[in-house]
Structure 1
Amino acid sequence: MPDISFDPVEAQRQLRSLVAHNQEQAAAHRASFPAFPADSAGRGFSGHAARLQEALERVHHSCAWRWNNLAATAGAAEQQFRALSNLDSRNGMSLDRVHSEREGGARGL
């Protein structure tokens, strides 16, 4: 099996950067709300304008939902990388201890 190599510190840094960028974009999204005034569609088309406004609001809400999901997913990925890094460190210390014992004259396994 080929070795798997990653830099957990860099992976976590990248994910934190993604979360920060996502927060900025989500804030900008929340700050602007779609508006399609009834008179924008022209005389006699206010019903169409209302339906367009409703559609724009649904799209806006859907985008907000996606921003929230991206934030949750990136946060969960960062936690997984942290857990993997901690496990890798503990396993490395165990292997170092076994190697030290063997080098120090302890009986081999």
Structure 2
Amino acid sequence: MKLDINEILADMLSAVKGSVKEDWAIIKKSANAFIQSKKDRLELLAIMRISGEISEEFFEKRLADEKEILTSELHSIAIVNKVAAQNAANAALKVLDDVVNAALKI
């Protein structure tokens, strides 16, 4: 399976948008920058998991780290409360997790 990281990142941003709803206009630019800054790292993580270079446990721990980082970044936008930031980060990283899990089932 060939990963299209740009499509995955777009889907992640869509998940964030769906999670924050009416606050999207306020956080759109920052959320895009936060996610784009992780592009290479997330792509490498997904490729390594799909190719079997890293275990599911290691992958899940790194995803948890990425969620914490993204949550912290989203907290920097004053309008987004803690729960909204956590939900948005969870939604975004679930997209990547789902893509990798789907690839592993092929």
Task: Quickly name the TM-score band, shorter chain normalised.
Answer: 0.3 to 0.5
Q: For the pair shown, which has the larger CA radius of gyration, 1 or 2? A: 1
TM-score normalised to structure 1 length: 0.34
TM-score normalised to structure 2 length: 0.35
More helix, by proportion: 2
